[in-house]
Amino acid sequence: MKQIALYGKGGIGKSTTSANLSAALSLAGYDILQIGCDPKRDSTRMLMQGKLIPTVMDLVRERGAAAVTPADVVYTGFNGVRCVEAGGPEPGVGCAGRGIIATFQLLEKFGTLTGDVIVYDVLGDVVCGGFAMPMREGYAQEVYLVTSGELMSLYAANNICKAIERLSARPKSRCRLAGVICNAKNQPKEEELVAEFARRVNSHLVEFIPRDRVVQLAELNRKTVIEYEPSSQQAQRYRDLATRVMENTRFTIPTPLGIDDLEALAIEFM
């Protein structure tokens, strides 16, 4: 079983990328489980025809963990992709990372952490103990950074590299950086910048996904691009990403940049 996690800055397009990746993998014949690890609970929405499914945390709060069943938290979406949303605490109360821990414990109890590929879609602005849990506890063995060429997006990606570097030093750790995905914002020299960032943190650019209006059109129609416009160039990018993820064998311990080096890199490509 291949277990991959997509980390990145909030709003960078992790959920769009994750959902389209899962859809593409499912059409390639793989059994896919996607787990949204973000309090926004929207990771799987486009796989579910726009439906926001109940979250594990909401159900546990309402009923208690003992009263929650697999059918309550695992939903079948586009082309058989199984979907789970961890959710989080009520606004202003508690730690969102605990929702991830509770979700994994429950799914392990149910025996539902199965499939050919598990895709974890994880918030990466702040890699606290809870959000780092998929990496720390050996669930996410292959970590992909989703970033654009914007400095704050690269900053978040670099912070995640620091977490991977630290966690990889743990005994029996299986957490490795699998590559960088550029979800473009149409900046000048953006692909070159992100590719160079990937090289400097001891990794590689896995896929460059251009900004395309079809993504917004697909979401307005409550679908992934793969489902909404399968013949589009954008859909092909996601299929290419799926192929590269399955064929990827380059897993590294990253070498994070200092803030001065990161800023100097961004200036090089202005």
Q: Where in the sequence numbering do the catalytic residues fall?
A: 9, 14, 40, 125
* Residues 6 or more apart in contact with residue 179 via CB below 8 angstroms: 144, 145, 198, 203, 204, 205, 206, 244, 248, 250
Q: What is the rounded CA–CA span in Å between residue 159 and residue 36?
A: 20
Alpha helices (H) in the chain, listed in sequence order: 14-27, 56-63, 70-73, 97-110, 133-136, 151-168, 190-200, 213-220, 225-228, 233-247, 259-268
- Which residue type sits at 224? T
**Interatomic CA distance for residues 239 and 23, integer angstroms:** 9
Task: Give 265's strand partners.
Answer: none
CA 146/CA 181 separation, integer angstroms: 5
